Copies of this chain bind each other. A is one copy, B any other.
Amino acid sequence: MYKINILGTGNVGTALSEAFKDNANVKLISSRSPELIDTTADFTIIAVSDNAIEEVAYKLPKSSSIVCHTSGSIPLSVLQGLNNATGVFYPLQTFTKGIKLDYSLIPFFIEASESETIEQLQKLASLISHNIYISDSEKRKNLHLASVFACNFTNALAYIADQCLDSTGYDFSVLQPLLEQTVAKLCLLTPEEAQTGPAIRNDTKVIDAHLKMLDSMPLYQQIYKLLTQSICDQKKMK
Chain A positions within 8 Å of B, measured between CB atoms, are 11, 49-51, 73, 92-96, 99, 101-102, 105-107, 131, 133, 135, 139, 141-162, 164-165, 167-170, 172-201, 203, 205-206, 209-210, 213-214, 219-220, 222-224, 226-227, 229-231, 233-234
Contact = CB atoms under 8 A, between A and B. Distances in A.
B94 A178 contact: yes
Of A106, A151, A155, which is in contact with the most chain B CB atoms at under 10 Å from its CB? A155
10 contacts: A49-B203, A92-B178, A148-B210, A149-B164, A150-B161, A153-B223, A156-B230, A176-B187, A223-B223, A226-B226
A191 B143 CA distance: 23
Nearest to A105: B177
A16 to B, nearest CB: 15
A1 B223 CA distance: 46
Given A198-B148, A199-B152, A205-B51, A191 B158 contact: yes
A157 B153 contact: yes
B185 A99 contact: yes
B105 A206 contact: no
Shortest Cβ-Cβ A-B pairs, 8 listed: A152-B197, A146-B164, A159-B191, A150-B161, A158-B191, A149-B161, A146-B161, A139-B168
Nearest to A136: B168
Contact of A143 (B106, B148, B174, B182): B174
A59 to B, nearest CB: 21
Contacts of A219: 226, 229-230, 233
Contacts of A227: 152-153, 156-157, 223
B165 A146 contact: yes
B96 A50 contact: no
